[in-house]
Structure 1
Amino acid sequence: MDRLKAGQWRGPLLFALFVLLWLLHHPYEGIRHDAVLYALQALKHLHPEHFARDVYFLFGSQDDYTLYSFFYAGLAQGTGLGQAALLLTLSGALAWCFAAWRLSSIWQGGARWLFLFLLAVMPIKYGGSEIFEVAEPFAVPRLWANALTLLACALWLQQRRWLALACWLAGMAMHPIMALAGAMLVFFYELRFTRQWAWGVLAGALAACALALFEAPMFGRLLQAMDAQWFDLLHKRTSYFLFPSEWVARNYNTLGFHAAALLWAAWLAGETWQRRLFLAACATGLAGWLVALVFGDWLHSVLVLQMQTWRTLWLMYVFGWAAVAIVSVQLWRPARFVVLGLWAAWFLRDYSGSLILLLVALLYWQRAHMGRVAERVLEAALAAAVALGLVWVAVGASTAYLAVLPGSELNAARTVFVWRDALNAGESALTLAIALLAWLAWQWKRPAALGLLLAGVLFLGYGRSWDARSPQLKLLEGGSLWQQTPFNRHIPVDATVYWLGGWEQTWLLLGRSSYFSRQQSAGLIFSRPLAMEIYRRYQNVYPLAGSLARMKFPTREEMLRRQTDALSDIVPGTLPALRRACADPGLDYVILDKRHEPHALAAWHAPFFSGGVYLYACETLRKN
């Protein structure tokens, strides 16, 4: 009886430990990144008259492709915007953890627990510049789409097909681009090289071509090439992440690492379904990347560029960590040196030698099929590569992700053993404590002891607040200041405002439409008229804002050049530039951190910004 009760306790306890570990390594930092845009969409649902003239909505928006804002707005109406964002993020995180737990159950033993540990602590970033991350801890539909799609994959593998389809459709309703990866994984997993499948694939391809030729909704954009002006604007704004041909070595080293791990795990798989699964995951990511490269980068297909098919890499990388766990567990005893080479390739992925090291590790694994001389050469090469990598990291020439210190990529020169300096941090101690509790939960058989462990987990969990927002940020996100600012009584609800460097404040503090910001240009890929209007407004405000309005993200060389020659940039906020910007009748008010007498309509001093800010009415400036 005790053993039965212990078995009943063990699963929920280990799941609680996994959730706690994930939350520890993914603290909530508020409405940031793309969450700002989805918060804006929710605000528009609640206050359409306030945001109808925002440039982000003039020609449609990402809100047209998701039901997320509908739920967001409903929750925000009852709890406030900031609290709604937190609740959506927390519930999405729990859904993600449940989906990951369900998926991990298809494996047994140490590989399962290592996979869950890696999902909790490792950065699963994908795409150019790694600006996107799987299961991002902020209020965006990607978090829910990741969770629902992963759960759909797990249910499909467990033969619960109708429930899997329902989860996948729910993921599509949240974020179609992210859910596409799940459909591709199932397709490749079920694919058979038979005549029936060949005819089915051919029929599907012909149907898609016919829909494109007859310009059916959405499909008509498949054969439509993006014109040069639109493509040039898109390239300037998003080349660092949208176009695979522009990705850097780190991005391709990460891609190569996961592809190699998946193929390796497929080779080691003892069962056919596991081999098919790892090959399907690899094909899902590589197919999406290849379609984006050929039809997006090279042929400029509007539909492919808008679908951003390279985002299928997110699911490939999730299964890639499962492959890493399986390879590490299976090869640790017979070939641990090879496993060390695999992990060294991950830590050194900033450098081109990462893939070479990975290749050497793979060849060394197959040394039994080679001659004695070749075996010795590979052994020496692998030893030298691992040693060089360790030295490279130790002298600070590289960075190493620190699993026991959440959210950090530390210079390894500061660390010894399990990164000595990191052990002084409460987060790292808690990570190690959770790992110890998980091991004890797996080993012990007494329910009373497990209950005590669960109490300890709850104590440790509440000892660290997952909500890492400052009091000022909580106040800003609360949306309760709209009627309390000294500017709102001067600005009509349907006015457009350009707040220099304060696009978030325009929405969250003033509750007004924003005239221009680089963040609003995120939707220019979906609308040519929006792209042209964004560029027109950019040209209008650039003399006023300088680098604060720059649409193109600077390269390292450009950043260095500006640091060495800072005086060459535009001085923001001058009166002549303000007059020029206000010449556009579509701009009603401007907010600057500089006072130009006697034109300042009102002043505001608040803790949300350093110094004071000043309001200018464009109608007055146009008359004078």
Structure 2
Amino acid sequence: MNALRRIAPWCFALALIVYLRPYTGIRHDATLYLAQALRVISPDVFNRDLFFVAGSQADFTVFPQLLAALLRHFPAGDVFLAFTFFTRLCFYAASWYLIRVLFPGKMQWPAVFSLIVMPTGYGSYSIFAYAEPFLTARPIAEALSLIALGLLIRRHSIWAVIALGIAGGLHPLQALGAAIVAWCWLVMQDRRWLWALMAVIPVCILGIAKVGPFSGLFTRIDPDWMELLLQLSDNIFLSHWEVRDWCIVVTDFYLVYRFSRCVPIDSPLAALRKAVMAAFAVGLTLSVIFADILQLALPAGAQFWRVLWVVHWFAMAGLPWVLWEQWQRQPKDWVATILIVAIAGTGASVSRTTLPWAVLGLIPLSIAWPYVSAKVGRFTKGFMLIGLIAILVVALFRYQFSAWLVFKALGSSLERVRQDVVILGYPLVAGSLVALLAWIYARSGKSLGAALGVLSLIALGGAVHLWDSRSPWSRVVEASAGQDVFGEHVPPDSTVYWYSAEPSPLGPWLVLGRASYFNIFQMAGQVFNRGTSFAGIQRQLQIGPVNVQGEICDTVNAVNGEPDSCWIGDAGLRYMCTPYKHVAAPDYFVLPFRQTRHVRGTWEARHPDTGELLGSYYLYKCSDWADPSGKAHIDRQSWNSVSVRGGEETDNE
């Protein structure tokens, strides 16, 4: 029974790690790593892809080579699923290691559970996070970075450098953030580490000589390039972050500051906390100087502000300690405690639906409260408590209501949205559940402790069983890799434009194994390659009419309840398929709309379990649609004109 009681927190932590971040397939940046690995395997095919025509961010990592080695022997769907699970466990194992190094015994488990249930997002637009639930090089690089910091604290400097070096080889940006923290810690221990800045000299020499990846070190982002970058990659520049983004940054900094007041001044944690706060200033300052002011391409791409992932990690790990220290004060101050909960609950990055701007009032109030609380009456304190609780309730309601709207928009399908995770995964809900179970566990005897152990094992088994939450469409796409789904041979040197209501390059890359003509995902990393920005905008204009009309047809089909009641106008297809000056047209294109002619192949994607038709896709060859004169023009009316069954060509201007 004692054994069952001892394993309860371990199994429950693993269950939460698995349950709260289910696997949804090859998506987000995982698609980019897939393309990079496929390029290693078939360079003659993928060198034609927009993502690689002007170079790519793959030049800065060895991860695609490692991934390609696995893809040569195993299906992509299996590799990405298994490797995602592995990297997530690595991240939390590394977090546990660093927590064991830094935190006293009684605060270790609270720190671990806080990291699990609290939001992992940092930076701008709620698109950056550590321990991502899809496969990239970032989680494993973050894990190695955390291990490196732990090794550094334990004075194993050589091993720390090795771990950080491997992390840099996998994902330089995440490793750079941890390296700034490590350097600040070393300088605080011994000022002679300032001489490490001399390493900048050989880097500058390589930049001047334009050697390999350092060629963009002194390349200035010109106005035309900057205009394109700001359309899709403005998160690189701090001056373009929104107020809500800075609210999240301020929240993390304030929580780290409060954390610093809890730890013993002579502890390793106190020293590393100072290094984290110094690295915060260094990283943001370097970003402002090199990206926003000097506008240098490679330093802007280095995104020094990514040090925020380490800052956020410390803020979330230290949150339970901050709450416990505040709760232990006598006399007990409910307002001060709930203030911290409200700051963490609203200021942490939970999509774009909570109330981070509330911290602009909550943080100053939290700072001033110790000085004014004695002068505030009981009635006023009660009123303030009601207000703070109301803020938390409103934030929770906004989040759950927005999630419900998304769920309804996706057909209320639990196969597409894990609504249970959305509801229970909100930090206030998950955190309250963890706190309740921790309270019960702390007061449990042998029998109750054993029961909790059994319950945790059941929870872990259920979480693992449910972890693979890929939608039917994701499963079909991943299972169709390399298959001749259209019954038409597409030559290896072809480029394919694949229109989909939910943009993803997986169709050309994974299903057809061919270069993608254009997809918004291919613009990632454009700050490293000027050519990508301009080639991308040219191709985006080339497919512009088809993309616009496709969105119109999606709406028409949804309203009519029929998947084939609308199709693209001929003028738009002629425009896309006729080369314009030096801009080549795609060789093939795929649409979810059946045109009245020139259909080369049909793919009926069916539910892998029920056989239900998920959607039909049609393959076309651009040479069948190109303007014979070699010059295609399209007027404003034709740009928006689609064809609808039972009617004339419709203008949706």
Q: Is TM-score (shorter-chain normalized) higher than 0.5?
A: yes
606-615 or 573-582: which moved more?
A: 606-615
- Secondary structure of the residue aligned to 1:191 is helix
- Separation in 1, partners of 2:602, 2:568: 15
- Separation in 2, partners of 1:520, 1:246: 22
Of 509, 534, 539, the residue aligned with 1:507 is 509
538-547 or 391-400: which moved more?
A: 391-400
Aligned to 1:560: none
Query: For 1:358-437, what aligned pairs fall within 5 Å after superposition?
Result: 358-365=363-370, 367=371, 375-376=374-375, 386-394=385-393, 399=398
Of 618, 621, 636, the residue aligned with 1:617 is 621
- Secondary structure of the residue aligned to 1:27 is coil
- Separation in 1, partners of 2:212, 2:476: 43
CA contact (8 A) 1:128 1:243 kept: no
Query: For 1:142-161, what aligned pairs fall within 5 Å after superposition?
Result: 142-161=138-157
Aligned to 2:470: 469
Aligned to 2:555: none
Aligned to 1:352: 357
- Secondary structure of the residue aligned to 1:224 is coil
- Separation in 2, partners of 1:381, 1:224: 58
Distance 1:572 1:486, change over 3 A: closer
Q: Which amino acid aligns with 2:375?
A: R
CA contact (8 A) 1:497 1:514 kept: yes
CA contact (8 A) 1:43 1:73 kept: yes
Query: For 1:8-407, what aligned pairs fall within 5 Å after superposition?
Result: 14-105=9-100, 106-192=102-188, 196-197=192-193, 200=195, 203-204=198-199, 218=213, 221-239=216-234, 241-272=235-266, 273-334=268-329, 335-349=333-347, 350-365=355-370, 367=371, 375-376=374-375, 386-394=385-393, 399=398
Aligned to 2:636: none
| Offset of residue 393 of structure 1 | 4.5
Query: For 1:569-580, what aligned pairs fall within 5 Å after superposition?
Result: 573-580=568-575
Q: Which amino acid aligns with 1:248?
A: E
- Separation in 1, partners of 2:516, 2:422: 45
- Secondary structure of the residue aligned to 2:289 is helix
| Offset of residue 90 of structure 1 | 0.7
| Offset of residue 401 of structure 1 | 8.7
310-319 or 373-382: which moved more?
A: 373-382
Q: Which amino acid aligns with 2:361?
A: I
Deviations 1:119-153 (A, max 9, x none): 11111201111101110011111111111111221
Aligned to 2:644: none
CA contact (8 A) 1:285 1:314 kept: no
1:484 correspondence with 2:484: yes
- Secondary structure of the residue aligned to 2:618 is strand
CA contact (8 A) 1:603 1:612 kept: yes
- Secondary structure of the residue aligned to 1:88 is helix
Structure 2 unaligned runs (5+)? 348-354, 408-418, 553-565, 608-612, 629-653
538-547 or 527-536: which moved more?
A: 538-547
| Offset of residue 392 of structure 1 | 4.1
104-113 or 81-90: which moved more?
A: 104-113
Distance 1:196 1:98, change over 3 A: closer
Q: Which amino acid aligns with 2:535?
A: E
- Secondary structure of the residue aligned to 1:606 is strand
Deviations 1:460-490 (A, max 9, x none): 222231111134422321344x333124x23
- Separation in 1, partners of 2:567, 2:271: 57
Deviations 1:327-384 (A, max 9, x none): 111121214532211221233333534133112212223x2xxxxx785269998766
Deviations 1:68-105 (A, max 9, x none): 22222222333310010011111101111111111121
- Separation in 2, partners of 1:206, 1:316: 28
Of 541, 544, 558, the residue aligned with 2:543 is 541
| Offset of residue 425 of structure 1 | 7.5
1:604 correspondence with 2:567: no
Deviations 1:236-280 (A, max 9, x none): 1122x2222222222211111111121222233223233221121
Distance 1:475 1:431, change over 3 A: farther
- Separation in 2, partners of 1:302, 1:345: 36
- Secondary structure of the residue aligned to 1:93 is helix
Structure 1 unaligned runs (5+)? 368-372, 410-420, 551-570
CA contact (8 A) 1:96 1:144 kept: yes
Q: Which amino acid aligns with 2:252?
A: H
CA contact (8 A) 1:19 1:97 kept: no
Q: Which amino acid aligns with 1:362?
A: I
| Offset of residue 154 of structure 1 | 1.9
Q: Which amino acid aligns with 1:89?
A: T
Deviations 1:422-479 (A, max 9, x none): 8997889998887676667666686x98777555433222223111113442232134
- Secondary structure of the residue aligned to 2:34 is helix
Question: Under a length normalisation based on structure 2, what TM-score does the superposition of the two structures give?
Answer: 0.78
286-295 or 344-353: which moved more?
A: 344-353
CA contact (8 A) 2:568 2:595 kept: no
Aligned to 1:591: 590
- Separation in 2, partners of 1:49, 1:108: 55
- Separation in 1, partners of 2:126, 2:311: 15
- Secondary structure of the residue aligned to 1:622 is coil
Distance 1:380 1:209, change over 3 A: farther
